[in-house]
Amino acid sequence: MSSSDFRQIAIRTEAGKAERLFRAAVSAFCSLTRPSRREIAQLEDLTLPLFDEVSVESRRYVAAALSECEYAPAALVRRLAEEPVEIAAPLLTRSNALSDIDLIALIGRHGLPHARAIARRKALNATIAQLIRALERPTLVKTRPPETVTKLASVKPAPADTAEDKQPVPGKAEEDARRRLRSMMRPTGDGVAVNLFLGQPTYVKLRETALTGNAAFFQTALADALDVDFTTARSVTEQSSYAALLAALKALDLSEDRAFLIAVAVYPAEFPHPQAIRLFLDRYRLLHREAALDKVRAWKAETLSRAIRGNAAETADAERQASNSDGLATNLKAS
């Protein structure tokens, strides 16, 4: 497809018809047997600026068309995959333009609806399939109610506790199940582990800053989570391998899928094939949390030591300046 082809489409639809241009461009592209990189880039340059102007029906049409396209433009496919599952399902189920890393990130951001569509892919990576099965089984999530609430309820029942109150509320069981499933992908809910460092918003902060691609944002979030200085957090993420980050995530007691999502966002080049993913998960499982906590404590001690050395240097400088000032004052008086 050449630039003139795109211009002809634009001429035929120049009366402000973004919908028709969007559909026509993708249809013409899908008719190509083997598009060149230039043609793929042209399609992205044409359609992405129109994306927010077209209707849900046009997005659904384009998603279905590109799902059957062997050389679909990756940027447009990823944009469509972020849409609700009613639009994105064909791409989630069939598109080769979505890598394993893309799929895991989509599950992390959108949860069970996208995961169910991804589960229908042929030759799905075993690790991703295992993650989806875990999402489908809410019984794996801890849902024990707080003991204090249980004891109070057994000792002093509420006056309004009647037979009518005991009847199941329509939809309540389903909503409870959905809440437990969401708790596996977000740090809110009953299934969140409590540990020394990780507050409920922290995983979301780590995940979102890692997915921005801005190293400084993620390093700041990691420093806050571990209670270390920025220099230490930066050294953890700027090493040639993810070994130090592995220890940091284990110390935060993140689940395997959450830890992997963050690691793959920070070190994408470390996971070029499924074997690398399996190696990461094996290392994460074998790493004892106490050993990871010891490493974090060592980082915190180094942070404190660095601060003490800095304060000592500042004190010495202040004393030298004061001494120089006293000497100058004495010389002035003598003169």
Among the listed ranges 31-40, 66-75, 322-331, which one has the minimum average pLDDT value?
322-331
Please give the tally of structural domains in the chain. 3
Q: How far apart are CA 68 and CA 90, in angstroms?
A: 9
In a domain, 327, yes or no: yes
pLDDT of residue 8: 55
- How sure is the predictor about 147, in pLDDT bands with cuts at 50, 70 and 90? very low
Last residue of a domain, one of 77, 98, 119: 98
Residues 6+ apart with CB under 8 A from 176: none
With a cut of 80, say whether residue 54 has pLDDT above it: yes
Angle (nearest 5°) at CA 78 between 75 and 84 = 145
Does residue 154 fall inside a structural domain?
no
Query: CB–CB of 49/65 below 8 Å?
Result: no
Residues 197 and 326 in one domain: yes
Of all residues in the chain, the percent with pLDDT exceeding 90 is 27
Domain residue limits at 7: 3-98
pLDDT at 173: 47
Together in a domain, 128 and 206: no
- Residue 145 pLDDT: 46
Residues 120 and 29 in one domain: no
Instruction: Collect all residues with Cβ–Cβ distance below 8 Å to 95 and sequence separation of at least 6.
Output: 66, 67, 72, 77, 81
pTM higher than 0.75, yes or no?
no
Q: Is residue 149 part of a domain?
A: no
Residue 26 belongs to some domain of the structure: yes
Question: Which position has the higher pLDDT, 130 or 173?
Answer: 130
Per-residue pLDDT band at 184 (split at 50, 70, 90): very low
Band (320; pLDDT cuts 50, 70, 90)? low
More confident site: 110 or 144 = 110
Is the domain of 223 the same as that of 244? Answer: yes
Is the pLDDT reported for residue 233 higher than 70? yes
Q: How much is the pLDDT for 309? A: 67
Task: Work out the pLDDT band at 99, boundaries 50, 70, 90.
Answer: confident
151: in domain? no
The label of the residue with tokens 């018809």 reads 17
The answer to whether the beta carbons of residues 106 and 92 sit under 8 Å apart is: yes
The residues, ordered by sequence, that sit 6+ positions from 276 with a Cβ below 8 Å of its Cβ are 270
Residues 202 and 226 in one domain: yes
- Whether residues 244 and 325 fall in one domain: yes
Instruction: Kindly tell me the burial class for residue 31, based on how many C-beta atoms sit within 10 Å of its own C-beta (0-12, 13-18, 19 or more).
Output: exposed
Q: Is the pLDDT of residue 194 over 80?
A: no
CB atoms within 10 A of CB 176: 13
Burial (CB count within 10 angstroms: exposed 0-12, middle 13-18, buried 19+), residue 282 = exposed
**83 lies in the same domain as 203:** no
Q: What are 216's two structure tokens? A: 């400084």
- 110 and 86, same structural domain? no
Q: Is residue 310 part of a domain?
A: yes
Q: In the prediction, which pLDDT does 132 show?
A: 85
- Whether 160 shows a pLDDT value over 50: the answer reads no
Structural domain contains residue 212: yes
Q: In Å, what is the CA distance from 256 to each residue of 13, 127, 162, 284?
A: 50, 10, 44, 7
Do residue 44 and residue 138 come from a single domain? no
- pLDDT at position 333: 56
Please report whether residue 160 resides in a domain. Answer: no
Same domain as 138, residue 73? no
Separation CA 226–CA 292 (nearest Å): 11
Looking at the fold, whether 7 and 77 belong to one and the same domain comes out as yes
> What confidence tier does 150 reach under pLDDT thresholds 50, 70, 90?
very low
DSSP secondary structure string for all residues of 258-310: HHHHHHHHH-GGG-SSHHHHHHHHHHHHHS-HHHHHHHHHHHHHHHHHHHHHH
**Exposed, middle or buried, 313 (CB in 10 Å: 0-12/13-18/19+)?**
exposed
Cβ contacts of 306-313, under 8 Å, gap ≥ 24: 306/229, 306/231, 307/229
| H helix count then E strand count, the chain | 19, 0
Q: Which of 99-108, 116-125, 141-150, 182-191 reaches the highest mean pLDDT?
A: 116-125
The b/e string for 283-305 (b: 16+ C-beta within 10 A; e otherwise) is ebeebeeeebbebbeebeeebee
Say which residue, 329 or 137, is predicted with more confidence: 137
Distance, C-alpha 130 to centroid of its chain: 18
Q: Are 266 and 241 contained in the same domain?
A: yes
Distance CA 63, CA 235 (A): 41
The predicted-structure confidence for 254-288, as pLDDT tens digits, reads as follows 988 889 999 999 998 888 888 888 899 989 999 99
- For all residues of the chain together, what is the average pLDDT? 76
Cα 203–Cα 205–Cα 131 angle in degrees, nearest 5:
40
